[in-house]
Amino acid sequence: MTEQGNRAAGPDADLTRWSAAELGRAIGAGEVSAEEVTRAHLDRIAAVEARVHASLHVDGEGALAAARSVDSRRAAGQAVGPLGGVPVAVKDVLVTRGIPTTCGSRILENWLPPYDATVVERLRDAGLVMLGKTNMDEFAMGSSTEYSAFGPSYNPWDLSRIPGGSGGGSAAAVAGCEAPLAIGTDTGGSIRQPGAVTGTVGAKPTYGGTSRYGLIAFSSSLDTPGPVARTVEDAALLHAVIGGPDPRDSTSIPAPVPDVVAAARQGASGDLTGVRLGLVKEFAGEGAEPGVSAAVRDAIEALTKLGAEVVEVSCPHFRYALPAYYLIAPSECSSNLARFDGVRYGLRVGDDGTRSLEEVMSLTRDRGFGPEVKRRIMLGTYALSAGYYDAYYGQAQKVRTLISRDFAAAFAAADVLVAPTTPFVAFPFGARTSDPYQMYLADLYTIPSNLYGGPAISVPCGLSEGLPVGLQVMAPTMADDRMYRVAAALESTVGLFTPPEL
């Protein structure tokens, strides 16, 4: 049922199939140039982008220049790092100096930021080659990329289906081999759920473990940049590059990233003796498609064969996670998105000399934002209003405390928690857009970790009707290494996933 991925066989094997670790090693050893690797990926983009639409902007010239610079450094005898010269695509929610950054929204169409996000700086400093910016649901709100103002991205497994969201572009780019690595951001599941439905690895680090400086804010207390890759080791390598404290982000954790690469390598040995896997009782039988439940069950069984133990845990407040999230996130976003008003940057509509500023702002925002964004802004405005604050936003933050306590209790009995990443496999376009709440259900299993702040990863675990299913592994805050170990162990036994040819 699973397909083995194509590993690099020799110098003329398709470079776009290689893992990032292999590419980095080969570039560092001088076996292949960074420029050649970049060209191969730019060619791949040219070949498939029309069908996949993973990218909003491809910076071919910038990428080649960066690649050549890596090659020069290497030729001059300088160390280029384990990911030096490896291509990466960046979700269009992170600012990139001089390169259009839109958040998938008309209100920022063609906006050129004058500065780089910290995560982007770290990619550059580590010698990665940024290919371009990937498509996303507008302002990171959505689970299918159908809410992008510039058209959706397409799932390489089945082009009539969604690649997940909000980071569908990053996942589709990696699944479709346009890049071996991508950066996403996860607020309610936006890295993990696309990972699950595209058969890729998507990880959400501990909140605060990766800097939010330069991440265009959706929900400030939840947004977390993280890695997207085709292997667990690749995701860990990327995580190690982008993670760590940042004095420009007051909420960043003042401690180094745990050694996630070592944990991934340890997990790959396939020994999970003594590791306790917590199965969340409240997630059992709750809304998942039968095929998804079956694949997840099989995966958990595979993990027990590697020595892990299964423990049932109860997290009674997890059933309130979705409603709490859909109060907290819109509330924060209603405030975060207030700055888009046509005054300092971005779209301005209706300034014909007769209108007041208030009218111009309101027209700008109404034309510039899509319906999902507007819904959430209004919802958030409501939840923060005097008279409603205590019952909605205030109450949701208390539920958050209770959810965190549930996690704490669960992690007393288990080392990690395992669950499906998302209740359904990739659904067809249009299947969930008529009822917004149907779309929200895609985040059912991912949201609790966001509210708690703990790390979680989605790793491909099987197929259901030919479409990928992801297993989610959740760990305590600051224990990111733990989830990489278990994910790598699973990967070692189920193998890698490659989508059918595009």
Partner 1 sequence: MSASTAAAARYEPVIGLEVHVELGTRTKMFCGCPTVFGAEPNTQVCPVCLGLPGSLPVANKAAIEATIRIGLALNCQIASWCRFARKNYFYPDMPKNFQISQYDEPLCTDGWLDIDVDGEVVRVGIERVHLEEDTGKTLHVGGATGRIHGATESLVDYNRAGIPLVEIVTKPVPGTGALAPVVARAYVAQLRELVRSLGVSDVRMEQGSMRCDVNTSLHRPDEPWGTRTETKNVNSLRSVERAVRAEMARQARVLAAGGTVTQETRHFHEDTGDTTSGRSKETATDYRYFPEPDLVPLAPDPQWVQTLRAGLPEPPRTRHRQLQVHWGLSDLDMQAIVNAGAVELIEATVAAGATPDAARKWWLQELSRQANEAGVELTALEVSPVSVAELQRLVDDGKLTDKLARTVLAGVVAGEGTPVEVMAARGLEVVSDEAALGAAVDAAIAANPEVAQRIRDGKVAAAGVLVGAVLRSTGGQADAKAVRELVLARLC
Partner 2 sequence: MAAISRAEVAHLAHLARLAVTDEELDTFAGQLDVILQSVARVGEVAADDIPPTSHSVPLTNVLREDVVQPCLPREDVLAGAPDVAEDRFRVPRILDEEE
Catalytic residues, by residue number, are 91, 166, 190
Does 61 interact with partner 2 (rule: CB under 8 A)? no
Partner from partner 2, partner 1, none contacting 435, C-beta within 5 to 8 A by type: partner 2
Burial class (CB in 10 A: 0-12, 13-18, 19+), 135: buried
Which of the listed partners (partner 1, partner 2, none) does 477 bind, with a CB threshold of 5 to 8 Å by partner kind? partner 2
Q: Should residue 366 be labelled a site residue for partner 2 when binding is judged by CB under 8 A?
A: yes
Nearest to 328 by CA among 420, 250, 401: 401
Which of partner 2, partner 1, none interacts with 307 (beta carbon under 5 to 8 A by kind)?
A: none
Enumerate residues 9-48 that contact partner 2 by CB under 8 A.
Answer: none
146 or 341: whose CB is closer to partner 1? 341
Residue 285's binding partner among partner 1, partner 2, none (Cβ under 5 to 8 angstroms by kind) is: none
Cβ distance to partner 1 smaller for residue 389 or 429: 389
- At closest approach, how far in Å is the CB of 366 from partner 2? 4
Cβ contact 383:298 at 8 Å: no
Among residues 188, 65, 169, the alpha carbon closest in space to that of 441 is found at: 188
Contact yes or no for 51/154 (Cβ under 8 A): yes
Cα 263 to Cα 114, 301, 411, 413, 419, distances in angstroms: 37, 21, 19, 21, 20
The span from the CA of 137 to the CA of 158, in Å, is 19
Residue selected from 382, 431, 492, 493 as contacting partner 2 according to rule CB under 8 A: 382
Q: Tell me which of 365, 432, 482, 485 binds partner 2, using CB under 8 A.
A: 365
- Least Å distance, CB 116 to partner 1, is 9
386 contacts which partner out of partner 2, partner 1, none, CB within 5 to 8 A by kind? partner 1
359 is in the binding site of which of partner 2, partner 1, none (Cβ under 5 to 8 A by kind)?
partner 2
* Residue list 173-212, contact with partner 2 (CB under 8 A): 207-208
Q: Which does 215 bind (CB under 5 to 8 A by kind): partner 1, partner 2, none?
A: partner 1
> Which C-beta is closer to partner 2: that of 46 or that of 357?
357
Hey, what amino acid is at 352?
A: D
Contact between residue 425 and residue 291 where contact means Cβ atoms under 8 Å apart: yes
**Residue partners of 426: CB distance under 8 A and separation at least 6:** 155, 157, 158, 161, 162, 163, 164, 197, 198, 467, 468
Our finding on whether 433 is near partner 2 (CB under 8 A) is no
Min dist. Cβ of residue 155 to partner 1 (A)? 28
Q: Where are the beta strands (DSSP E) in 253-381?
A: 276-280, 309-313
φ/ψ of residue 451, rounded to 5:
-65, -35
Which residues 6+ apart lie within 8 Å of 190 measured at CB?
136, 137, 140, 143, 165, 166, 167, 184
Please list every residue from 231 through 290 that binds partner 2, using CB under 8 A.
247, 250-251, 253-254
Radius of gyration over every alpha carbon of the chain, rounded to an integer in angstroms: 21
- Least distance in Å: CB of 397 to partner 1? 9
Residues that bind partner 1 (CB under 8 A): 94-95, 101, 103, 108, 111, 113-115, 117, 212-217, 220-221, 247-251, 331-332, 334-335, 338-341, 343-345, 357-358, 361, 381, 384-386, 389, 393
* Residue 179 vs residues 17, 55, 76, 129: alpha-carbon distances, Å: 9, 11, 27, 10
- Quick check: 353 binds partner 2 (CB under 8 A)? yes
Residue 317 in contact with partner 2, rule: CB under 8 A:
yes
Instruction: Choose from partner 2, partner 1, none: what does 47 bind? Cβ within 5-8 Å by kind.
Output: none
Our CB check for partner 2 shows the closer of 182 and 203 to be 203
408 binds partner 2 per the rule CB under 8 A? no
Prior bond of 166 cis (ω within 30°): yes
Q: How far is the CB of 41 from partner 1 (least distance, A)?
A: 26
Q: How far is the CB of 286 from partner 2 (least distance, A)?
A: 14
Binder among 35, 71, 341, 491 for partner 2 (CB under 8 A):
341
Residue whose CB is less far from partner 2, 391 or 413: 391
Residues linked to residue 418 through DSSP beta bridges, in sequence order: 279, 473
Nearby residues of 408 by Cβ (< 8 Å), 6 or more positions away: 476
Does the CA dihedral 463-468-472-473 come out positive or negative? positive
Q: How far is CA 233 from the centre of its chain?
A: 16
Binding part of the chain for partner 2, among 72-80, 163-171, 229-237, 398-406 by CB under 8 A, reads 398-406
Is 453 a binding residue for partner 2 by CB under 8 A? The answer is yes
The CA distance from 113 to 95, in Å, is 6
